[in-house]
Amino acid sequence: MSKYTEEELEKELQNKEYEYGFYTDIESDTIPIGLSEDVIRIISAKKNEPQWMLDWRLQAYRTFIEMEEPEWANVTYEKPDLQAISYYSAPNSKPKYDSLDEVDPELLETFKKLGISLDEQKKLAGVAMDIVVDSVSVATTFKKTLGEKGIIFCPISEAIQEHPELVKKYLGTVIPQKDNYYAALNSAVFSDGSFCYIPKGVKCPMELSTYFRINEGGTGQFERTLVIADEGSYVSYLEGCTAPSRDENQLHAACVELIALDDAEIKYSTVQNWYPGNAEGKGGVFNFVTKRGLCEKNAKISWTQVETGSAVTWKYPSCVLKGDNSVGEFYSIAVTNNFQQADTGTKMIHLGKNTKSTIISKGISAGKSQNSYRGLVKINSRASNARNFSQCDSLLMGNECGAHTFPYIENSNSTSKIEHEATTSKIGEDQIFYCNQRGIDTEKAIALIVNGFSKEVLNKLPMEFAVEAQKLLEISLEGSVG
Amino acid sequence: MSFKDKILSSFIALENEVDTETYAHSLRNEALGNFEKLGVPQRKEEAYKYTSLKSVFNKDYSLFPKKDTAIEYSDIKRFLIHEIDAYRVIFVDGIYSSHLSQTTHDKFDVCLMSSALNNPKYNSVIETYYNKLASQDGLSSLNTAFAREGAYIHIGKNIAVEKPIEIVYFSTGNERALMTQPRNLVVVGENSQVQIIERHQSLSDNEVLTNAVTEIFAAQRAMVDYYKIQNDKLNASLLDHTSVDQRTSSEVRLHTFSFGGSLTRNNLNFYQNGEHCNSLLNGVTIIEGKQHVDHSTLVHHSQPNCESYQEYKQIFDDRAVGVFNGKVLVDKIAQKINAFQQNNNILVSDKATINAKPQLEIFADDVRCSHGCTIGQLDEEALFYMQSRGIGKKEARALLMFAFANSVLESVKIPEIKSRITKLIAKKLQVDIGFDL
């Protein structure tokens, strides 16, 4: 029988370096560092944006400079110097490609290292990908198939040019420019991102996926994603990230807005595996993301996330259940190791009648990491028969890490039902003993238990993504996931 | 004049009245400075996010009650657990009432804080324990600056106090609006046991604000069983700050029954500073109208092998607002902790609100910590079942609500308190049944 013990696993976790650390040498078109109105004008000009877009950015910037960086989250980090960041960087090899052959071979090499070979993905998974390397899209596939259905899936900069009426109507409606410090910053300086529109009654035939990567040294990345599902439509959107290993902290402040109109359904899945810093807690990505969805009548928004990377994560994918009978879901696995810190959770705002929300959050902390769940369930007095179920479980590995739960529950409706449960525990010696007794060695037993612990969430991921999610969990908790 | 200014000028008046040479007085100046700095908590502070003290502090309170208000035993009998023999420490408008009280110095001390603070005989105890545990927030500091009176209970080693100790604060309302700062100190020695009942009661229709601080020290293997009965009139508000220090193998059980009062804030902090401690924090809240009850609990596990158990059952009607802010903190070295926290709420009306924030902060890995929080309604089918068997709707509802709260009552060890609370619940739910069906 293997003598692999939990202590060894811990040790291994501590020594585990970021496996996907590499740096691609692509020439970049980078503007000088710093943040000012001029920088915003340059970004806007580089993208040939119409005047209304520039005005919107400037309005956001003016609110932003009045704001202060929030400090309530249960994380400690050195605040990034926003003046030391370059707010725009685009790969040089323009214009866009029609086929893979034209793509910079070095870039293709990068994707191979990531194990997401485009050809393979195209053939096997049937996934259309809009690849963002340093903020600008360089490859869009399956556009034709989508086009036939009337689905618009393109970089947001393109959408601003070609579908201004849609962007104008919905941008900033779920996350207002002044929502919070980083959302305001994003609104002012966002370089690119994805835009997706599903017309009335259309069921998107494939999973839409975007790979965001941070590449150029010293550039922050500020994506803006806008997904609109028109009445009765359905879309499943996937987002996955890995980033090169790097020493200085990198800031990532994205905004994702989802709009599900009457009877529509949006499924948004994220796998995040940015560079978490090394074993001494040096470096790593700051992930300060604002994600929010708005549900109209009978609509449904489902957030699924697997968070394994980043030095500091600060992320609360939320649902505003505005329409009657709308449904919000949040499934999350957050794994922290070494010196990682995660403060993540969700907000479910029940405004409409018969609205339902489910929150399943699994936190696994190892090493010297801190993992917090912070969530809000708010039931408005008009939201009759609202229903919420929340479950937050934490698993601790080692005695130097911490697991925290900060659920806020605000209810002002007598017909609503709210249930909240949270547990914190470690892998029980009796559980391992039980497995050992039946001939399962300790390593496999731990794998089994962690797998079981996360299963509720992993099951919610689309098939195409589940493989990658498994892979990322493996990297973060190697030796424990079989 | 703002409340703060009033406090500062009143302090000068206080200094003329008290002995300024005592240890307690040396703490007063510092506490006043602390209050001056921190002030009354505002809603922007996380701990008071859901409870605004504005309406409580905008009245023109008198800080020094008129002396010698006489009330008779018959006036207050109904507010006491009079069925049982008990030591009684009774205060009227913040002043000790000797003819209503029954204190002792025989084997242990059940007496007054004022004598403990001023009599050199008690110096060593006061200097060891007084203000060592109370949190240093604005309101506690305000109490420390002005506190002169309260209950002083000191039980030595190996004593089981034979009957409960009842501490009751009455306010007569001879003042237009009165603010009192009661201060209790409970020190229980090794292997000793004590049961304490605390109550604050207004006898008039004038505004009363009570800002009470209680410090409880439980030595090794000590057992403290503490009951707080809060069924005050609607003109009275209570800000209660209770801190408990537990040593090895001690057990402290604290029940809070909140039925009355306009605004009630219970800050309850348990610090476990020894192994094998056991803490129990239970509460029942049944409020209606515009009442506001806020329970803010903290259990800090700083040593291994301890247990804590919290169960709060709350029912809200009309426009009542409830807040439950429970926190369990487990330090890195505190392994093998078993912490449980449960908060169940029923909203009877659409205008009622509950804000719950059950938090866990865990730094140790070998622990079992769980919390559960539910908000729901009475089961319509159960109601129908009872009605179809001839039980009136009101009674059926009351029965269900009583059953909901009953799990907390089961841990009450004094039968007279249990039956008194049962009656209070029946009265609160406006039914005439004994719930002993």
Section A433-440 average pLDDT:
91
Contact status of B369 with chain A (Cβ, < 8 Å) = yes
Residue A287 confidence (pLDDT): 87
Whether B369 sits inside 8 A of A409 (CB atoms) is: no
| Phi–psi pair at B81, nearest 5 degrees | -85, 75
| pLDDT > 70: percent of chain B | 99
- pLDDT tens sequence across B264-316: 999 999 999 999 999 999 999 999 999 999 999 999 999 999 999 999 999 99
**B312 or B20: which leads in pLDDT:** B312
Question: Considering the domain boundaries, does residue A169 fall inside one?
Answer: yes
Residues 6 or more apart from A434 whose CB is under 8 A from it? Answer: none
Domain encompassing residue A196 = 6-476
Nearest C-alpha in B relative to A369:
B363
CA–CA dist A37, A57 (Å, integer): 9
- pLDDT tens sequence across A340-351: 889 999 999 999
Question: Tokens in use for A186?
Answer: 């994003």
Radius of gyration of chain A (CA): 22
CA–CA dist A118, A100 (Å, integer): 8
Section B140-159 average pLDDT:
94
Identify which of A317, A325, A416 has the alpha carbon closest to the alpha carbon of residue A376: A317
Question: Considering the domain boundaries, does residue A86 fall inside one?
Answer: yes
Q: Is the pLDDT of residue A30 over 80?
A: no
Cis, peptide link before residue A95, omega less than 30° from 0: yes
Half-sphere exposure in the Cβ direction for A86 (13 Å, CA): 16
Nearest chain B Cα distance for residue A471, angstroms: 26
Question: CB neighbours (10 Å) of residue A443?
Answer: 18
Question: Considering the domain boundaries, does residue A1 fall inside one?
Answer: no
Domain count, chain A: 1
Whether A397 sits inside 8 A of B365 (CB atoms) is: yes
Give yes or no for a contact between B51 and B292, defined as CB atoms under 8 angstroms apart.
yes
Domain boundaries, given as residue ranges, for chain B: 3-274, 378-437
Nearest chain A Cα distance for residue B242, angstroms: 23
Average pLDDT, chain B: 91
**A8 or B384: which leads in pLDDT:** B384
> Which of chain A's residues have a Cβ under 8 Å away from the Cβ of B352?
412, 414
**A239 or B155: which leads in pLDDT:** B155
Question: Considering the domain boundaries, does residue A132 fall inside one?
Answer: yes
CA–CA dist B277, B189 (Å, integer): 15
Nearest C-alpha in A relative to B371:
A422
Residue A111 confidence (pLDDT): 55
Residue A283 confidence (pLDDT): 75
Q: Is the pLDDT of residue A119 over 90?
A: no
Nearest C-alpha in B relative to A365:
B365
Give yes or no for a contact between B150 and B113, defined as CB atoms under 8 angstroms apart.
yes
> Which of chain A's residues have a Cβ under 8 Å away from the Cβ of B312?
none
DSSP string, A119-140: HHIIIII--EEEEEETTEEEEE
Query: What does pTM read for this prediction?
Result: 0.82
Buried b (16+ CB within 10 A) or exposed e, A122-153: eeebebbbbbbbbbbbbbbbbeeebeeeebbb
Tell me which residue in A399, A411, A418 faces B353 most closely, judged by beta carbons.
A411
Section B178-192 average pLDDT:
94
Residues 6 or more apart from A216 whose CB is under 8 A from it? Answer: A28, A30, A86, A89, A134
pLDDT band at residue A137 under the 50/70/90 scheme:
very low
Question: Considering the domain boundaries, does residue A122 fall inside one?
Answer: yes
Whether A413 sits inside 8 A of B350 (CB atoms) is: yes
| Phi–psi pair at B339, nearest 5 degrees | -120, 135
Q: Of chain B residues 7-66, which have a CB less than 8 A from chain A?
A: 46, 50
pLDDT band at residue B67 under the 50/70/90 scheme:
low
Nearest chain A Cα distance for residue B201, angstroms: 30
Question: Tokens in use for B374?
Answer: 């539910």
**CA–CA distance from A176 to each of A57, A165, A469, B54 (Å)?**
12, 18, 31, 31
Question: Considering the domain boundaries, does residue A101 fall inside one?
Answer: yes
Residue A149 confidence (pLDDT): 86
Question: Considering the domain boundaries, does residue A163 fall inside one?
Answer: yes
Residue A114 confidence (pLDDT): 52
pLDDT band at residue B75 under the 50/70/90 scheme:
confident
